[in-house]
Structure 1
Amino acid sequence: MFSFFKKKPITPEATPAEPPVLPAATPPAAPAATPAAAPLSGAPAELVPVIVAAEPEKKSWMTRLKAGLSKTSNTLSVLFVGAKIDDALYEELEAALLMSDAGIDATEFLLTELKKKVKEDKLLDAAAVKAALKVLLIELLLPLEKRFELGRHKPLVMMISGVNGAGKTTTIGKLAKHMQSNNQSVLLAAGDTFRAAAREQLMVWGERNNVTVISQESGDPAAVAYDSVQSAKARGIDVVMVDTAGRLPTQLHLMEELKKIKRVIGKGMDGAPHETLLVIDGNTGQNALTQVKAFDDALQLSGLVITKLDGTAKGGVLAAIARVRPVPVYFIGIGEKIEDLQPFVAAEFVEALLG
């Protein structure tokens, strides 16, 4: 399983040390198993991938991911059991893909490419056709796979948006814990200033992770974001995460407020926010694509986090996003625990979806 990218300091006199391993799938209750991460340096360095290769943890993650996507997996897998390669199979596959929330565009693309592959390679059995579909789906989703890079700026400012109920605040808490495990100091900004429950929830995550939360009752969300960036700069904090009020993209005045927050963050630090993320509930189907379009138009998103892939989620919406609005997917989540939020890996996702 892949983890965050980070910078490794390089000096003229010494050979670079082996990159530390980010314990992305290590539960917080077992700190003894957490490898130590070397501090980031401001010196020029090249980005180095850090890979978590703990096989038992990877198997556990894949088991849970497969369980979360079983609704679609079971439907697709049964189609290829003893099936003939004919129009009836393609029609059933089309229906299954549409039911998985892949959308018309992605479904038509996959079927067209699959038929071409079957003809060119003279595939005669269902297992070979299923394997070809897996390859096509991985190729479709691969552009969404992008590693999250730490240490590019200090502080690295992240603005995080999403509709109410998408799991935005919980995701912020999980990301904070992941970053701390990679030796990053974190500050949270409670930008949802009008909902006491939202501020309190973020405060709980802050206490749980021993992270400072800057909050302001009934204040200007943009002012809270600005103050948080200034505080992080003064205190030498590595990462600032700005929570914003959950809203529907149809609430135009609230979308304008998001644009204002982003502009004000930029005044607080040149080039900020460095990451503008949207958290999406994986159970919302094609509505998730609508959200991506609206928030991307308003904020120019740099990445997505797909949550709640452990319920009735069908998973196909990632194919729709890849075809219509290919914003990178940094992380996917399948549960409430810290280790249930992991970097998105296209091959792993397709394996869980198709088996």
Structure 2
Amino acid sequence: MTATTESPPPASPPGAEPGSGRRGLLRRRKPAGDSQTRLAIGLVAPTIVVLAVVIGYPVVAAIVTSFKKDQSLQGGFFNKGGGFAGFSNYSHWLLQHCGSAKCAPGTLGSEFWDAITVTVLFTVITVVIEVVLGMMMALVMNQVFKGRALLRAAVLVPWAIPTAVTAKLWYFMFAYDGVVNHVFGTHVLWTDGQWASRFAVITGDVWKTTPFVALLVLAGLQVIPDELHEAARVDGAGAWQRFWRITLPLVRPALLVAVLFRVLDVLRIYDLPAILTHGGGGTGHATTTVSILVVQQLQQGYGGASALSTLTFLFIFAIAFGLVKLFNADLIRSTQRSVK
């Protein structure tokens, strides 16, 4: 038998410090994660800088301007002045009320709450209708039939049309001598009456954005295995039971994402009511949303408009934060029930 002996590691050169050989190099070598981290930071840093300049600076500037006095716009230039105003711009929007009487000139406090009411009204009604119709359209498009691809393409046409074009389209349809009055035999000023103008805005928004909800729900439906429905059908479950027990729980994540997107969109709605009803509905502020009010206030000065835009941001952020928390809790409960 021949004995095998392990060759000793190469000795370090004379005068070298201990651990300076190959093993010392291995010990001193930095982990690969450090280089990957530096690479990731180097790739992301330019984007963060651009976002800080494009988004961060205007936000900070708007907040700072909201504590200054208004500088009215006359002749295309802002007048000099505009000293520190404290919280007067915010109290102007939040604390001044006119009650049921007509506001005196220059008293704009109630306009903020009226705009909040109109915005919330549009949000609740449009999102509910779009979710119901979008779910129905997605269920139809998810079926296998001849011409399904053509139907899917046709459904997405309203969503692909620009909002300004959609607003003008419905403006001509809701005109006094337009298609709607001719079809129903009515004589309604759809863009001037209080509730008629709101109905026109809701109709235009539902027509345009329901395909978006249907597209997101359809993506959730296509990941549901057909074996689940087949097994439930064999067990004697009806169509409604299969929808309520299988389809709806599994499509809920996609549906919640659609609801979140649409809520945030409607809370910031501007172009559709601004073009369709000229931002007022003919009866004052029937279709004036918070975004329209901010643009109108810009003609009065930057201070009040900046305070109003800050309040609008906080209002939308609070709703978005609450919805995200609510949806996360709902998804966690649904996952726990499915695991059990």
- TM-score (norm: length of structure 1): 0.24
Q: Which has the larger radius of gyration?
A: 2
- TM-score (norm: length of structure 2): 0.24
The structure carrying a bigger helix percent of its residues is 2
